């Protein structure tokens, strides 16, 4: 094989790998992230439509009818220990991760692919998936360096999506009210004041702080206890003051049982000759 053939072959392989990579990326939609985005919408967005008995328009990207994984997600049951059952075939799995793999490998036909499908994970920046799931641990500096201008862009994007989801047939005043209601429930957390708010985070930060304080208090207590005990029993000094009954000349003591400094005396034989 000539060097020209080798070069052609290398270019072909590189082209193939790029095409394959593009296909993989184009079809990639995180189930985990989609699940968190869906939970956010189920809590803050969909109930608003139910309250007013409004139908979510087809062109709304968050319409459940466009959700790639909704059919699969509705056909699995996961208990609090993480064990999962596939309702398509009845198989049982030890974790949600394993049933997710199973759904991908065995039930591809239940992943929506009609050309109008939407990947909810694509809206995770707006729907704060990383914060709500606890996947991203945030601290003081994240909040201190929060960029309000960036969040304003996200808020604008969120409001744009919300507007596209309002039914067209509504009267103008009802439409304005409903848009305001949706923006308040779905987009209002996109400010530096609220962006890092998450019940899960607060709880875990609170419990971590309590554990750290308990650990420090218990650790300090143990160190102090053993320091006092070592000094008291194994050195000639003691933090514990001896009473009159036990102090003074050994020969004048009432009791002969070893107490206090006698126990601590490392050379009892020498002490007896003093």
Q: Which residues bind Zn ion (CB under 5 A)?
A: 86, 88-89, 91
Question: 117: alpha, beta or left, given left = phi > 0 and alpha = psi -120 to 50?
Answer: beta
Task: HSE, CB side, 13 Å, CA atoms: give it for residue 184.
Answer: 7
Closer to Zn ion at the Cβ: 76 or 128?
76
Give least dist CB 106 to Zn ion, A.
5
Q: Phi/psi of residue 220, each to 5°? A: -60, -45
Residue 35 CB, shortest distance to Zn ion, in Å, is: 18
Would you say 86 or 127 has its CB closer to Zn ion? 86
Q: Please count the other Cβ atoms lying within 10 Å of the Cβ belonging to residue 30.
A: 16
Looking at the Cβ atoms of 93 and 123, the one nearer to Zn ion is 93
Q: Is the separation of the CB atoms in 120 and 152 below 8 Å?
A: no
84 contacts 77 by C-beta, under 8 angstroms: yes
- Which residue from 270, 27, 59 is spatially nearest to 161, judged by alpha carbons? 59
CA separation for the pair 82, 95 (Å, rounded): 5
Q: How far is CA 56 from CA 47, 132, 133, in A?
A: 11, 24, 26
DSSP state of 257: S
CB of 87 to Zn ion, least distance (A): 8
Smaller CB separation from Zn ion, 68 or 86 = 86
Find the shortest distance in angstroms from Cβ 95 to Zn ion: 15
Least Å distance between CB 88 and Zn ion? Answer: 4
State which residue, 3 or 105, has the beta carbon closest to Zn ion: 105
Closest distance of CB 89 from Zn ion, Å: 3
Closer residue to Zn ion, CB minimum distance, 93 or 178: 93
Tally of CB atoms within 10 A around 14: 10
């Amino acid at each position: 094989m000539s060097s020209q053939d080798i070069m052609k072959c290398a270019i072909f392989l590189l082209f193939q790998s790029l095409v394959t990579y593009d296909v993989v990326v184009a079809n990639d939609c995180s189930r985990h992230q989609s699940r968190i985005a869906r939970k956010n919408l189920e809590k803050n967005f969909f109930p608003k439509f139910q309250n007013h008995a409004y139908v979510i328009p087809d062109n709304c990207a968050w319409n459940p009818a466009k959700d790639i994984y909704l059919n699969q997600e509705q056909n699995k049951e996961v208990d609090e220990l993480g064990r999962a059952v596939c309702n398509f075939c009845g198989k049982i799995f030890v974790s949600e991760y394993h049933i997710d793999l199973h759904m991908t490998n065995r039930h591809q036909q239940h992943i929506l692919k009609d050309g109008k499908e939407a990947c909810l994970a694509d809206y995770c920046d707006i729907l704060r998936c990383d914060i709500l799931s606890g996947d991203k641990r945030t601290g003081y500096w994240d909040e201190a360096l929060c960029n309000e201008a960036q969040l304003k862009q996200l808020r604008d994007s969120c409001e744009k999506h919300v507007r596209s989801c309002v039914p067209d047939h509504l009267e103008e005043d009802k439409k304005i009210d409903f848009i305001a209601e949706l923006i308040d429930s779905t987009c209002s957390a996109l400010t530096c004041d609220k962006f890092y708010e998450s019940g899960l985070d607060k709880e875990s930060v609170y419990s971590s702080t309590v554990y750290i304080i308990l650990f420090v208090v218990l650790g300090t207590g143990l160190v102090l206890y053993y320091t006092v005990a070592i000094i008291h029993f194994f050195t000639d000094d003691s933090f514990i003051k001896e009473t009159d009954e036990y102090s003074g000349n050994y020969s004048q003591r009432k009791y002969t049982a070893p107490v206090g400094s006698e126990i601590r005396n490392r050379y009892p034989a020498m002490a007896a000759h003093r």
